Amino acid sequence: MALEDAKTQIDHAFTREDLKGPSFENVFGGAASFLRRKYTKDLAGVDVAVTGVPFDQAVTNRPGTRLGPRAIREASLLQPCDAPYGWGYDVLSEFAIADYGDLAFDYADVPAFPATLQAHIAGILGAGAGSVTLGGDHFITLPILKAYAEKYGPMSVIQFDAHGDTWADDDMDRIDHGTFMYKAAKLGIVDPTHSVQIGIRTDNPEPLDFTILDAREVHREGPEAIAERARRIVGDRPCYITFDIDALDPAFAPGTGTPVWGGLTSNQAAVMLRALAGIDLKGGDVVEVSPPFDTTGATAIAGAHVATELLCLWGWTRR
């Protein structure tokens, strides 16, 4: 059946009629939607909307993450023929997942960007869908969390990252990918006491009340034990996962703006994401994939797998 479908399927991002099911379109052909899901702005009947935010004007080092959503979509084309490995169910067949396209914004009006993104995500949530966002630099998580907090109240967050992003900055209008979590805590949209930062390996004088499970702890204790600690801290509260690709060691994800050695392996990340099954995940993002520095495409591949795992986690409690 798959072989016959591969002979006839093309531009499945536009031609498929059903929001569910695998796609056998040739990996090397056609329009590159995420996991060959249908591109649509109609959220009727959509369970989860995957959306891109091509913004990188808040970076402190190397830019390029504005090209991240496109690269992640292309990398995802390796996956939609089969159910995601190891989950025991096929999120692509059981849930209606759409590619909602990218956020439209005025690149020259940076101060207007946060409100534009917040409204974009609020529109998805207002339609009754969850969101998985492809970044973009890590600042984008702050407007997204504002939209989630409006619906669910203060969020528990599981943050995979090399950096805590809690450097003090009390100018709430300033846009910076290194201060967004500080602002999220100060604004009350995140509950630090029930949130976890995993993979950290840079000093930060403003940890606030976040539980930090740094990269050395992951290497020492193992990913299953770290995931179990994270589950206990988050409990049954509404949760959001933000995955900065620099949580991975540069050996696994070189294409990012602020790489730091000593990071997570791709296997450790995969094990932890799978072991978080059962948390009340409301949404998530993967950020900081910078294709200009991703010479082999490995970083985009990792980002595509993270986004797929987020979909699986979202669906786990809703099957």
Looking at the chain, the whole-number percentage of residues with pLDDT higher than 90 is: 94
Residue 165 annotated in ligand binding: yes
Residue 161 annotated in ligand binding: yes
Measured CA to CA in angstroms, residue 176 lies from 36, 64, 183, 232, 234 at distances of 33, 15, 10, 30, 26
| Average pLDDT rounded to a whole number, residues 131-139 | 98
**Closest by CA position to 42, among listed 95, 116, 98, 91:** 98
Contacts of 15 (CB under 8 A, 6+ apart): 9
92, pLDDT greater than 70: yes
243, pLDDT greater than 90: yes
Contacts of 230 (CB under 8 A, 6+ apart): 158, 196, 198, 213, 272, 276
| Average pLDDT rounded to a whole number, residues 193-209 | 93
pLDDT of residue 4: 65
Domain ranges, residue 18: 2-316
Q: What is the crossing angle of helices 113-126 and 141-152, to 10°?
A: 40
Q: What is the residue-averaged pLDDT of the chain?
A: 96
Helix (H) or strand (E) holding 133: strand 130-135
pLDDT of residue 272: 98
Contacts of 112 (CB under 8 A, 6+ apart): 105, 106
Residue environment code for 284-301, b if the CB has 16+ CB neighbours within 10 A, otherwise e:
bbbbbbbbebbeeebbbb
Residue 134 near residue 140, CB atoms below 8 Å: no
Neighbour-count burial of 6, counting CB atoms closer than 10 A to its CB (0-12 exposed, 13-18 middle, 19+ buried)? middle
153, pLDDT greater than 60: yes
**Closest by CA position to 262, among listed 307, 313, 219:** 219
Distance, CA of 190 to CA of 279 (rounded, Å):
16
3, pLDDT greater than 70: no
Residue 163 annotated in ligand binding: yes
**Residue type present at position 186:** K
7, pLDDT greater than 70: yes
R_g of the chain, CA atoms, integer Å = 18
3-class SS of residue 240: strand
The torsion angles phi and psi of 171, rounded to 5 degrees, stand at -85, 100
Residue 166 near residue 207, CB atoms below 8 Å: yes
Residue 246 annotated in ligand binding: yes
How does pLDDT run across 154-178, given as a tens digit for each residue? 999 999 999 999 999 999 899 999 9
The torsion angles phi and psi of 185, rounded to 5 degrees, stand at -70, -45
How does pLDDT run across 46-58, given as a tens digit for each residue? 999 999 999 999 9
**Closest by CA position to 40, among listed 100, 95, 128:** 100
Looking at the chain, the whole-number percentage of residues with pLDDT higher than 70 is: 99
pLDDT of residue 316: 97
Q: Looking at residue 274, which CATH number applies to its domain?
A: 3.40.800.10
The torsion angles phi and psi of 213, rounded to 5 degrees, stand at -110, 90
User: Residue 1: which pLDDT band, with cuts at 50, 70 and 90?
Assistant: low
How does pLDDT run across 33-82, given as a tens digit for each residue? 999 999 999 999 999 999 999 999 999 999 999 999 999 999 999 999 99
pLDDT of residue 86: 93
Residue 244 annotated in ligand binding: yes
- Based on the structure, what is the number of domains in the chain? 1
